[in-house]
Amino acid sequence: MKTIFARIYQKILYIFTKFIKFREPIILNELSDVVDVLKKENKKHILLLSGKRVCKEEFYIYLFNLLKDNFNILDYNEIPSDPDIESIEKAVTVSKEFNADAIISIGGGSTMDAGKVVAARLTNKKSIRKMRGLLKITKKPIFMICIPTTCGTGSECTVASVVTDLKRNEKYAINDPKLIPQYAVLDPRVLLTLPKNLIATTALDALTHAIEAYIGKSNTYETYLYARRAIYKIIYNVETAYNNKKDLNSRELLQQASYEAGIAFTKAYVGYVHAFSHAISAYYHLPHGYLNGILLPIILEAYGKSANKKLIDLNHEVGINSNNPNDFIEKLKDLLVNLNQENNLCDIIKDEDIPKMIKHIKKEVYPLYPVPRYFSDKELLNIFNKIRNIA
């Protein structure tokens, strides 16, 4: 009965979303274009939001100087790699004092997610906890521009922001079309200084977005198309970008793939890989992209027959001449090896935390995610055992 209820809920949501306007951000190709946009929109007080690594980069300094010469700028680079409610609220407080009328979030998915929540909090009296879930944002956030400096997440074009609640040991999403930024800057030159491990983990994050969207049960023609494009581009370019730090073309294609995967999962959602990743990250504060990459082949295997047809389609999409769905999963395992992504979770995950994480996973997945099939508590425990290499 629970499964029937979930599928009915998802069908109603699928029909309902056809009447929701999912706009896409306007794409800018160079950092310098931001100045013209802000002048056109008559913005005066700009919050420039970033983290500790990005604010030291040459492209950041270049952008800051451009903005400083034309606007009032608040340079705020206190966003942590795993933004929690408290750190986001600090940014909200300084933004109010500054009277920000636009936010530029420049960084990885965490920074962009934080910026989107800050933008929403500046116009909504609701707490972040009360924004959790679907369509809880009542007023339009302030003007937003997102500049991704990694090749994952797709936050620059999605309805979602993920936040960590340290007091409750939870990581959850806020989902609302109002969170889609007005503009996104896709300039691959900002990826040239991205460390190779971040190339790997953020690309794996985008790959997971695309695959989970593709194998789910709420696809449209558009989401199928975007997901397949993203999967192809990532699988055929991530190793080049990882091994050649000067290759701009591979980075540009990964940046495109991240955006396309973001469009796909905005409408088709994700699945158990993300639910496991969020639960494990909330307890052990591990990188989201790393966890997605490690978990993806394990959970695809656990889906079994329910995902086989879609995985065979993906075989053909990436040039594997086979009707065996396991061949696509083996391709993913080989990719992890080539990107030096080792599964160290067996030494990290504690037995006593697993029941609480299973509860978290079930709460996230049910009834929202249109997964190929639902896992029982016993199956979820078995997956944890496989993750820890004890099954």
Confidence of residue 118 (pLDDT cuts 50, 70, 90): very high
- Whether 328 shows a pLDDT value over 70: the answer reads yes
Examine residue 54 and state whether it is found in any structural domain, yes or no.
Answer: yes
d(CA 14, CA 20): 10
Amino acid at 274: H
Considering the domain architecture, whether residues 183 and 274 belong to the same structural domain is answered as no
Residue identified by tokens 């942590």 is: 80
Q: Which of 268, 112, 274 is nearest to 205 (CA)?
A: 274
Q: Residues 109, 290: contact at Cβ < 8 Å?
A: no
Amino acid at 230: A
Q: What is residue 358's predicted lDDT score, i.e. its pLDDT? A: 97
d(CA 240, CA 253): 11
- Domain assignment of residue 163, given as a range: 21-190
Among residues 190, 217, 236, the one where a domain terminates is 190
Token couple for 133: 């879930």
Among residues 168, 190, 212, the one where a domain terminates is 190
Residue identified by tokens 């990694």 is: 150
Considering the domain architecture, whether residues 168 and 103 belong to the same structural domain is answered as yes
- Whether 29 shows a pLDDT value over 90: the answer reads yes
Considering the domain architecture, whether residues 42 and 175 belong to the same structural domain is answered as yes
Considering the domain architecture, whether residues 36 and 72 belong to the same structural domain is answered as yes
Q: What is residue 278's predicted lDDT score, i.e. its pLDDT? A: 95
Segment 238-244 shows an average pLDDT of 97
CATH number at residue 143: 3.40.50.1970
Considering the domain architecture, whether residues 83 and 213 belong to the same structural domain is answered as no
Segment 218-223 shows an average pLDDT of 92
- Whether 391 shows a pLDDT value over 90: the answer reads no
d(CA 31, CA 232): 27
Considering the domain architecture, whether residues 303 and 174 belong to the same structural domain is answered as no
Maximal CA-CA distance, the chain: 61
How many domains, the chain? 2
Q: What is residue 389's predicted lDDT score, i.e. its pLDDT? A: 85
Examine residue 78 and state whether it is found in any structural domain, yes or no.
Answer: yes
Q: What is residue 36's predicted lDDT score, i.e. its pLDDT? A: 96
Sequence-separated (6 or more) residues with CB below 8 Å from residue 73: 46, 48, 64, 67
This prediction has a pTM of: 0.94
Examine residue 301 and state whether it is found in any structural domain, yes or no.
Answer: yes
Q: Which of 159, 62, 157, 169 is nearest to 117 (CA)?
A: 159
Examine residue 6 and state whether it is found in any structural domain, yes or no.
Answer: no
Average pLDDT, the chain: 95
Q: Which of 2-6, 86-90, 125-129, 344-348 has the lowest mean pLDDT?
A: 2-6
Q: What is residue 57's predicted lDDT score, i.e. its pLDDT? A: 95
Q: What is the signed CA dihedral for 23, 28, 34, 36, rounded to 10 degrees?
A: -90
Q: What is residue 15's predicted lDDT score, i.e. its pLDDT? A: 84
Sequence-separated (6 or more) residues with CB below 8 Å from residue 283: 169, 353, 356, 357
Considering the domain architecture, whether residues 251 and 328 belong to the same structural domain is answered as yes
Sheet holding 102-107, edge to edge: 26-28, 183-185, 143-148, 102-107, 45-49, 72-76
Considering the domain architecture, whether residues 52 and 155 belong to the same structural domain is answered as yes
Considering the domain architecture, whether residues 103 and 133 belong to the same structural domain is answered as yes
d(CA 171, CA 282): 5
Q: Residues 310, 215: contact at Cβ < 8 Å?
A: yes
Residue 163's H or E segment, with its range, is strand 160-165
Sequence-separated (6 or more) residues with CB below 8 Å from residue 315: 321, 322, 323, 324, 325, 327, 328
Examine residue 7 and state whether it is found in any structural domain, yes or no.
Answer: no
CATH number at residue 364: 1.20.1090.10
**pLDDT per position as a tens digit, 135-180:** 999 999 999 999 999 998 899 999 999 999 999 888 989 999 999 9
Considering the domain architecture, whether residues 242 and 317 belong to the same structural domain is answered as yes
Q: Which of 322, 335, 282, 37 is nearest to 168 (CA)?
A: 282
Q: Which of 21-30, 110-119, 141-150 has the lowest mean pLDDT?
A: 21-30
- Whether 18 shows a pLDDT value over 80: the answer reads no
Examine residue 5 and state whether it is found in any structural domain, yes or no.
Answer: no
Q: Residues 271, 215: contact at Cβ < 8 Å?
A: yes
Examine residue 8 and state whether it is found in any structural domain, yes or no.
Answer: no
Considering the domain architecture, whether residues 355 and 266 belong to the same structural domain is answered as yes
Q: Residues 301, 272: contact at Cβ < 8 Å?
A: no
d(CA 223, CA 158): 13
Q: What is residue 20's predicted lDDT score, i.e. its pLDDT? A: 73
**pLDDT per position as a tens digit, 243-266:** 999 999 999 999 999 999 999 999
Among residues 165, 190, 215, the one where a domain terminates is 190
Examine residue 9 and state whether it is found in any structural domain, yes or no.
Answer: no
Query: Phi and psi at residue 100, in whole multiples of 5°?
Result: -60, 135
Percent pLDDT > 90 in the chain is 89
- Whether 21 shows a pLDDT value over 80: the answer reads no
Sign of the CA dihedral 147, 152, 157, 163?
negative
Considering the domain architecture, whether residues 147 and 50 belong to the same structural domain is answered as yes
Q: Residues 5, 365: contact at Cβ < 8 Å?
A: no
**pLDDT per position as a tens digit, 35-67:** 999 999 999 999 999 999 999 999 999 999 999
Confidence of residue 349 (pLDDT cuts 50, 70, 90): very high
